[in-house]
């Protein structure tokens, strides 16, 4: 199969992907996995792919008798995995600790030859050139699908081995830093979320005082803000003197409204425009277009909630943005953005009840959103929580900004490095030394 390819530097060449891999190793996984079983063999599916890595918190397990028929795709660790059905083109290298796993039909397993590292194959598959070549030949009749014949014929640039090692190490260092920042942010958010739960869900400081103990982890002045008794309300138990409120009473709620289609674009003209859950990242929206005539605006620090298909995913606006009809923004009138964010995160179970509503997909309207219950502890407790949570949130924002710079740098350098347009002679000399 012919491909229109850019030229390479002297000493580089293109090679078909299947010539860089073990014979017959480019194939897909289990076609009909059947119903999940608790003690079965774990398999990697499309939903397990993140940004060049695997997220295995939600792993499906299949019956051993079914998996046994697909020994060809049973993982040993070190294989390159590529999504080839649905959300195609996502890439990861199988870590050693998932040896024995298998993969789903929508995932291709690629086992490189010893002299062509998995990291190099993964870099090439991630590149805009490979993504374009595979996408241009994908079957989109029912569901986007990459044909294995096209995948096997995909041209892979092969510089000399030393350059491959240096480029892989350079991009790998950026990937590692990006992963570390993400993990740090996940840890920081877990700390703040645990504090919120302790104060406003489990009422730990109140229960400690009821038991005659000093509340743990807070100073005397903060402990004095909490009562030493609980009281019953119609909707449940709350600390004495606090009240159960709702979103409409405690926050400023703005439902998004999509602007006319001709006012948003992909050219950085106007404000970032977020339409729904598909734009959301771990904590801040990432996927974007821009709108030059916004109708509904969220400010920096507003909590963003998806209100359609599905309901209840929560992010935070890291910049002023336009929100479409799939998003609502929530803001505390006194600016307590940490409390707002974690309170909305804590409403996950309440939001799920609206996922089945609507004629086509789940949705929640403004009236129902306003009735969702939240606790109101009073201004002094909120201020104390914000004093603790705000520095954590600021650190998360700073890490996110650094993370985005590194992602942009990596994504800019990757195609230039693996095509030879940009060389790393100094790094090569250091490697030789």
Q: Which string of DSSP letters, residue by residue, matches 151-196?
A: HHH-EEEE--HHHHHHHHHHHHHHHHHHHHHHHHHHHHHHHHHHHH
Three-state DSSP state, 66: helix
pLDDT one-digit tens code per residue, 270-322: 999 999 888 998 899 988 899 999 999 999 999 999 999 789 999 999 999 99
Cα 386 to its chain centre, rounded Å, is 26
Please say whether the beta carbons of 309 and 276 come within 8 A.
yes
Which of 398, 391, 378, 395 minimizes the C-alpha distance to 334? 378
Which of 171, 75, 71, 179 minimizes the C-alpha distance to 121? 171
Domain ranges of the chain: 13-158, 159-200+377-433, 243-376
Query: Which ranges of the chain have pLDDT less than 70?
Result: 1-3, 235, 356-360, 425-433
CB atoms within 10 A of CB 166: 23
> In terms of DSSP bridges, do strands 27-28 and 107-110 run parallel, antiparallel, or are they unpaired?
antiparallel
> Within 13 Å and on the Cβ side, how many CA atoms surround 4?
3
The dotted CATH code for 159-200+377-433 is: 1.10.287.1120
Element (H or E) spanning 72, and its range? none
Pick the CATH number of 13-158 from 3.90.220.20, 3.40.50.300, 3.60.10.10, 3.40.50.2000: 3.90.220.20
For residue 52, what pLDDT is reported?
75
- Based on C-alpha coordinates, what's the Rg of the chain? 26
Superfamily of domain 243-376 in CATH is DNA methylase specificity domains (3.90.220.20)
Query: How far is it, in rounded angstroms, from Cα 163 to Cα 302?
Result: 46
Helix pair 118-126, 161-200: axis angle to 10 deg: 80
pLDDT one-digit tens code per residue, 141-171: 878 999 999 999 999 999 999 999 999 999 9
Please say whether the beta carbons of 119 and 165 come within 8 A.
no
Please say whether the beta carbons of 118 and 80 come within 8 A.
yes
Helix pair 337-345, 379-418: axis angle to 10 deg: 80
Cα 313 to its chain centre, rounded Å, is 12
Query: Quick check: do 13-158 and 243-376 share a fold?
Result: yes
Query: How far is it, in rounded angstroms, from Cα 352 to Cα 59?
Result: 21
For residue 433, what pLDDT is reported?
43
């Amino acid at each position: 199969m012919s491909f229109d390819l850019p030229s390479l530097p002297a000493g580089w060449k293109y090679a078909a992907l299947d010539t860089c891999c073990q014979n017959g190793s480019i194939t897909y996984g289990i076609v009909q996995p059947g119903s999940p079983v608790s003690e079965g063999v774990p398999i990697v599916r499309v939903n397990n792919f993140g940004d060049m890595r695997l997220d295995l918190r939600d792993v499906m397990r299949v019956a051993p008798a079914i998996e046994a028929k697909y020994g060809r795709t049973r993982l040993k660790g070190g294989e390159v995995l590529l999504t080839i059905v649905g959300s195609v083109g996502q890439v990861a290298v199988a870590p050693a600790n998932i040896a024995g796993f298998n993969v789903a039909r929508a995932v291709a397993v690629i086992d490189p030859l010893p002299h062509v590292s998995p990291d190099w194959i993964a870099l090439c598959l991630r590149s805009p050139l490979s993504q374009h070549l595979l996408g241009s030949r994908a079957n989109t009749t029912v569901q986007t699908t990459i044909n294995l014949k096209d995948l096997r014929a995909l041209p892979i640039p092969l510089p000399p081995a030393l350059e491959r090692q240096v480029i892989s190490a350079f991009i790998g260092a950026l990937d590692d830093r990006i992963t570390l920042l993400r993990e740090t942010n996940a840890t920081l958010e877990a700390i703040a979320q645990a504090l919120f739960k302790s104060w406003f869900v489990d009422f730990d400081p109140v229960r400690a005082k009821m038991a005659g103990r000093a509340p743990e982890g807070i100073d005397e002045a903060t402990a004095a803000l909490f009562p030493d008794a609980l009281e019953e309300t119609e909707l449940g138990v709350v600390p004495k003197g606090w009240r159960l409120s709702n979103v409409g009473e405690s926050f400023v709620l703005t439902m998004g409204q999509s602007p006319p289609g001709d006012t948003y674009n992909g050219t950085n003209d106007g404000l970032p425009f977020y339409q729904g859950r598909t734009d959301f990242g771990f904590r801040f929206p990432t996927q974007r277009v821009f709108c030059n005539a916004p109708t509904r605006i969220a400010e920096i620090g507003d909590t963003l909630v998806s209100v359609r298909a599905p309901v209840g995913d929560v992010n935070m606006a890291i910049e002023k943005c336009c929100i479409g009809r799939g998003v609502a923004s929530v803001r505390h009138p006194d600016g307590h953005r940490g409390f707002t964010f974690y309170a909305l995160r804590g409403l996950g179970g309440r939001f799920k009840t609206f996922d089945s509503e609507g004629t086509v997909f789940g949705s929640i309207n403004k009236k129902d959103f306003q009735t969702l219950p939240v606790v109101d502890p009073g201004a002094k407790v909120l201020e104390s929580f914000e004093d603790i949570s705000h520095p954590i949130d600021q650190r998360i924002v700073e890490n996110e900004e650094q993370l985005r710079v590194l992602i942009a740098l990596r994504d800019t350098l990757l195609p230039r490095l693996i095509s030879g347009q940009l060389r790393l002679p100094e790094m090569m000399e250091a490697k030789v030394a």
